[in-house]
């Protein structure tokens, strides 16, 4: 009983708090570093981490608001937010935060949000076809914890499960893998003679965090596909998100160069 409470309530909230801390740290360091690297990239990444925090801390609402259709409705709203807003926002934010010489084309930004919105709509349609009930997982200290149920009134349809997982592989997983690949490219092509000599190390943590986030979602999806499609399997994803957030937080806190005091003093002066 307490384990179910931890997996469905406490761990998602903990993941959200990690991303709120990251957003706060981005906001703190951007007061100095946005002068060196530009304000837009820091603002976009701050927004992305803030939205990820909101996404995770609202996960318990999926379990506590009531029986069907509430678990499905909250899941639809959160997943649309993740696929159509957060995932494209993370990719676009990374493209601006780790900019190339030519900048980020507007067409890339439009395409990212358009693809995310399309995948989100498909996901919601599949959800509405597959989820047809709910069940009580447990009651903890007077709180009833519900879970959505797939195919409770008929035979399971594997094609819907596969489409459901493919949608999540495209968004957010695909967006995060693209962001990680871009960071890796920029990290391996960064001029070693540049004054900001710790940028490759910062980007290494950022890349690692993005990969952990993406692969934790893949692992949870595969566990659900080859086991049984239980919601609690997504705790793999929540734990992965916490680890990813901590890695990215370490990267954020690393200064862009080995002796950043002169830059800070120059700004404060």
DSSP characters over 229-240: --GGGGHHHHHH
Q: What is the reported pTM?
A: 0.90
Question: Is residue 192 situated within a structural domain?
Answer: yes
57 has a pLDDT exceeding 70: yes
Average pLDDT, the chain: 88
Cα–Cα distances (Å) from 157 to 128, 160, 224, 232, 234, in that order, read: 13, 6, 14, 20, 20
In this prediction, residue 37 carries a pLDDT of 55
Separation between Cα atoms, residue 223 and residue 244, nearest integer Å: 20
Q: What does the angle CA 136 – CA 137 – CA 139 come to, to the nearest 5 degrees?
A: 85
Confidence band, pLDDT 50/70/90 cuts, at residue 50: very high
In this prediction, residue 131 carries a pLDDT of 94
Share of the chain above pLDDT 90, in %: 57
Separation between Cα atoms, residue 269 and residue 263, nearest integer Å: 10
Separation between Cα atoms, residue 248 and residue 265, nearest integer Å: 26
9 secondary structure, DSSP code: I
In the predicted model, what is the mean pLDDT of residues 25-38?
A: 72
The domain containing residue 14 runs over which residues? 2-264
Residue 112: closest CA among 101, 102, 100, 120 = 120
Query: Domain total for the chain?
Result: 1
Cα dihedral 89, 96, 248, 180, rounded to 10, equals 80
pLDDT in tens, 204-231: 999 999 999 999 999 988 887 776 655 5
In this prediction, residue 63 carries a pLDDT of 95
Separation between Cα atoms, residue 192 and residue 112, nearest integer Å: 31
H or E segment and range at residue 110: helix 106-130
Question: Is residue 269 situated within a structural domain?
Answer: no
Share of the chain above pLDDT 70, in %: 89
Note whether 8 and 137 are within 8 A (CB). yes
Question: Is residue 132 situated within a structural domain?
Answer: yes
18 has a pLDDT exceeding 90: yes
In this prediction, residue 69 carries a pLDDT of 96
In this prediction, residue 208 carries a pLDDT of 96
Question: Is residue 102 situated within a structural domain?
Answer: yes
CA 156 to chain centroid, in Å, comes to: 29
CATH number at residue 229: 1.20.1070
The lowest-confidence range among 1-5, 46-50, 221-225 is: 221-225
Confidence band, pLDDT 50/70/90 cuts, at residue 261: low
Question: Is residue 6 situated within a structural domain?
Answer: yes
In this prediction, residue 262 carries a pLDDT of 46
Question: Is residue 184 situated within a structural domain?
Answer: yes
pLDDT in tens, 76-98: 999 999 999 999 999 998 998 87
Question: Is residue 65 situated within a structural domain?
Answer: yes
């Amino acid at each position: 009983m307490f384990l179910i409470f931890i997996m469905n309530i406490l761990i998602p909230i903990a993941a959200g708090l990690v991303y709120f801390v990251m957003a706060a740290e981005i906001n703190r360091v951007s007061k100095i570093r946005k002068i060196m690297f530009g304000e837009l990239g820091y603002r976009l990444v701050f927004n992305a981490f803030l939205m990820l925090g909101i996404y995770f801390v609202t996960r318990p609402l999926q379990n506590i608001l009531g029986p069907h259709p509430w678990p499905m409705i909250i899941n639809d709203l959160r997943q649309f937010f993740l696929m159509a807003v957060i995932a494209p926002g993370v990719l676009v934010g990374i493209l601006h935060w780790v900019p190339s010489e030519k900048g980020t084309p507007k067409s890339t930004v439009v395409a990212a949000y358009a693809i995310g919105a399309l995948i989100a709509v498909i996901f919601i349609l599949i959800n509405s076809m597959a989820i047809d009930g709910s069940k009580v997982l447990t009651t903890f200290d007077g709180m009833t914890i519900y879970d959505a149920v797939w195919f409770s009134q008929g035979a399971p349809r594997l094609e819907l499960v596969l489409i459901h997982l493919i949608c999540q592989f495209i968004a957010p997983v695909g967006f995060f893998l693209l962001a990680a690949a871009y960071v890796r490219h920029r990290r391996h092509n960064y001029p070693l003679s540049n004054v900001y000599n710790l940028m490759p190390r910062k980007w290494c943590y950022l890349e690692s965090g993005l990969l952990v986030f993406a692969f934790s979602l893949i692992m949870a999806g595969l566990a659900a596909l080859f086991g049984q499609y239980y919601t609690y399997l997504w705790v793999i994803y929540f734990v992965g998100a916490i680890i990813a957030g901590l890695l990215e937080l370490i990267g954020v806190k690393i200064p862009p160069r080995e002796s950043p005091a002169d830059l800070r003093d120059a700004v404060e002066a």
